[in-house]
A and B are shown apart, each in its own frame.
Chain A
Amino acid sequence: MFLNELKKGDQANIVRITDDLFRTKLLEMGIMPGTLITLFFKAPFNGPIAFSYENSLLSIRKEDANNILVEKMMHHK
């Protein structure tokens, strides 16, 4: 599934980032396949989303979130 499809509070591992430039940018920030993220908020009307990783909270736009493939962690609230 894509990062954008997660619900508030969901945890997931990043699987793949499809856009080249975006992948490089995120990699430089330490976000890469295997990084554990938690979805924190979603702005209404398909606005940006915010997710946490390590100790930061990062917000990105929805269409960019659609470039991020994730695997949702089960049994986690």
Chain B
Amino acid sequence: MKIAIFGNPNTGKSTIFNLLTGLRQKIGNFPGVTVEKKSGVIKLNNEEHELIDVPGIYSIYPSNQEEKVVYDLLVSSHDNERPELGILVVDASNLTRGLFLFSQLIDCGIPLVLVINMNDLAEKNGICIDLDLLKSTYNNTPIVLMNARVGLGKDRLLSALNNQINLLTTEPIQVSNHQISLDDLSGQEHEAFKRHESISNVVNKVVKRSTKSPRLNALDHWLTHPIIGYLIFMVILFVIFQFVFSFASYPMDLIEKGFEWLTNVIKGFLTEGPLSELICEGIIPGISGVLVFIPQIGILFFFIALLEDSGYLARAVFLMDRLVRPFGLNGRSVVPLLSSMACAIPGIMATRGIPNYKERIITIFVAPLMSCSARIPVFTLLIGLVIPKMKLFGFIHLQGMVLFSLYVLGIVSALFNAWIMHLILKNEKRSYYLMEIPDFKRPLWRNIFFTVYEKIKVFTTEAGGIILAISIVLWALASYGPTEKRREAIQLLKNTRTYKLKSIEEKEGLENAILLENSYIGIVGKGIEPLIKPIGYDWKIGIALITSFAAREVFVGSLSTIYATEGTGNDLRLTERLKNQKRPDGTLIFSLRTGISLMVFYVYAMQCISTLSIVKRETKSWKWPLLQVMVFGFMAYTGAWICFNI
């Protein structure tokens, strides 16, 4: 049986969902739309049932794409998706609003179990509900008191569900489908008035309230203060990024070291050959390249979930909305864009909370322009190569300044792109920014854990597969090439005088470089040389650009192989070696112009295949990722051209 869990936003719906299903959760999409569908297994009467968590709504008549899911589910354009039983979660402090939705759902013919949640908070606020009276008013519906955050009332809910299911199997309910059309606004308004009339009669009898003045607490006074509020938000962001960038590096190092160790172990077991190479140079670096991002993503979403569950996030959204609106963004775009500075993949995943379709598309579109952590090694290498270690005005480090400018360039370009899209895109339907600001709550670790777990799971399954696949393909392209040609090239190398004078280690390095040059990827790199020459790159950089499609930081490793540096991972040596590379005409390859051109190229270019696949997944169309490739590619190329030629 399909059971859906309905409720107004912030009523503790997700808490109850987590309480009932535990880890047996599945993330998917509602049919036909991109709205996330969370479902889980719940065991009742020794039978397994599907519990569906639907978006929080105030009314079944939707005001945005996310809410329309609920309407579709009920009026079901998809008959097998229609839930046969519903749980409606109502905030005890706000019975009127809950009962409004209750009366709509009942009229749709969905049998319900009504959960009055957070009764303790309501009583603290001087609101007392006469449960017996409420029960006798709605005597067809079981009513359960819960305090889900502390797990109170779970057994009562389960037994009420049990009873309902038994009842439903003996006498199936008639589905009445009396509905007002979505476009008939005055009809909806009339209906809403009638409902409120009868509900206020009930509420006046059932709810006893002792008068209390509205609760403006001191915390809120400072958190939403026109100046202090922003400062507090900045400090919180600073702390989060401190954690994401510095403290994540320990587990990241550990993961990388672990996989290095594993590679050595496997190399010891397997005899040298294609299989060993496939595992040690294709698969393991691929897996390691996926897992290495998990600490950052986990830490980031831990904080986002913490802020959300405690109620702070709604205040931050409130403060930021005005600042980002001229760019066609929403207050809720801020967190996804900031997340993209760690990695665009979780950032784009976090856009699901943006209710307006247009604002969400814009946020997704510009997210990859925020400088992600995979770009850091690339920028560090290039800056070390071409920017002198000197101080401006005696105290500003020029190198640091350049890195900072690259971040700013990314942010400014993201806003500029957003603004252009804001001018071009039309809003399909008028929508409102209507956001409830919840009370502060002590965060619930269980809810936070589920969020982090879910995000990491989505990342490893969705992006992980792609990163891994591309790593393997790139490895194959870099390891194989036309056999005859490679043999000749190696022969040619061995006959040169310089080769004969080198040590064994250096010889191996030179051989590897020649092999890479004559691999399939080397052939492609040479093929695109005419294209990248105008922006200052040779075919060797071309190879590194192509390998960056697995993940941008691969650029560094590729350069290191192709320029035959021995002892990979030694950045200093790589920098020295690259600095001395010369073109056939004797000029430096990594001149200031080429370096800056490359940096600008990496700020813009849409090189991350896994980001593209996530964009496709979230927008349900190839249109947006293709547009990103073209627009950002154009910006990268023009930007790089300008930097190289001026």
Contact = CB atoms under 8 A, between A and B. Distances in A.
A61 B331 CA distance: 11
Contacts of B253: none
A27 B192 contact: yes
Interface residues of A, number: 34
A50 B432 contact: no
Given A47-B321, A48-B318, A56-B94, A27 B189 contact: yes
B392 interface: no
B196 A27 contact: yes
B138 interface: no
A43 interface: yes
Contacts of B319: 43, 47
Given A9-B216, A29-B58, A43-B224, A23 B93 contact: no
A61 B61 contact: no
Most buried by B among A24, A30, A55: A55
Chain B interface extent, by class:
35 or more
B433 A60 contact: yes
Interface in B141-191: 185-186, 188-189
B226 A28 contact: no
Q: A interface, by DSSP: helix, strand, loop or mixed? A: mixed
Contacts of A59: 314, 318, 433-437
Contacts of B480: none
A41 B318 contact: yes
Interface in A52-77: 52, 54-61, 64
B58 A28 contact: yes
B640 interface: no
A38 interface: yes
A32 interface: yes
A55 B432 contact: no
Contacts of A41: 220, 224, 318
Interface in B62-110: 63, 91, 93-94, 96-97, 100
A25 B432 contact: yes
A25 B216 contact: no
A61 B433 CA distance: 6
Nearest to B192: A27
A54 B96 contact: yes
Contacts of A9: 216
B533 interface: no
Contacts of B216: 9, 40
A42 B318 CA distance: 9
Contacts of B122: 55
Contacts of A29: 58-59, 97, 434
B107 to A, nearest CB: 14
B322 A21 contact: no
Interface in A1-25: 9, 20-25
A43 B437 CA distance: 13
Contacts of A50: 224, 318, 437
Contacts of B224: 41, 43, 50
Contacts of A58: 434-437
B433 A43 contact: no
A43 B188 contact: no
A75 B520 CA distance: 82
A9 B100 CA distance: 28
Interface string B210-230: 000011100010001011000
A48 B321 contact: yes
B193 interface: yes
Contact of A21 (B127, B185, B196, B439): B185
A9 B193 CA distance: 29
Given A28-B192, A30-B196, A54-B96, A21 B430 contact: yes
Give the most central of A9, A40, A48: most B CB within 10 Å.
A48
A25 B434 contact: yes
B233 to A, nearest CB: 12
B220 A40 contact: yes
A61 B196 contact: no
A61 B63 CA distance: 15
Nearest to B429: A21
B460 interface: no
A32 to B, nearest CB: 7
A61 B185 contact: no
Contacts of B185: 20-21, 24
B125 interface: yes
Nearest to B59: A28
A30 B434 CA distance: 13
Given A20-B185, A46-B322, A55-B127, A25 B97 contact: no
B45 to A, nearest CB: 36
A43 B96 contact: no
Given A43-B321, A44-B226, A55-B127, A27 B432 contact: no
Interface in B269-299: none
Contacts of A43: 224, 226, 318-319, 321-322
B189 A44 contact: no
Contacts of B58: 25, 28-29
Contact of B189 (A24, A40, A55): A24
Given A20-B185, A42-B226, A57-B438, 8 more contacts: A20-B189, A24-B189, A30-B97, A50-B318, A55-B93, A55-B122, A56-B94, A61-B321
8 cross-chain pairs, A with B, having the tightest CB-CB distances, nearest first: A47-B322, A28-B59, A44-B226, A55-B93, A57-B437, A41-B224, A27-B192, A38-B214
22 contacts: A24-B192, A25-B58, A28-B100, A30-B196, A40-B214, A41-B318, A43-B322, A45-B322, A46-B322, A47-B318, A47-B319, A48-B322, A50-B224, A54-B97, A55-B127, A56-B93, A56-B97, A57-B439, A59-B318, A59-B436, A60-B434, A64-B433
Interface of A: 9, 20-30, 32, 38, 40-48, 50, 52, 54-61, 64
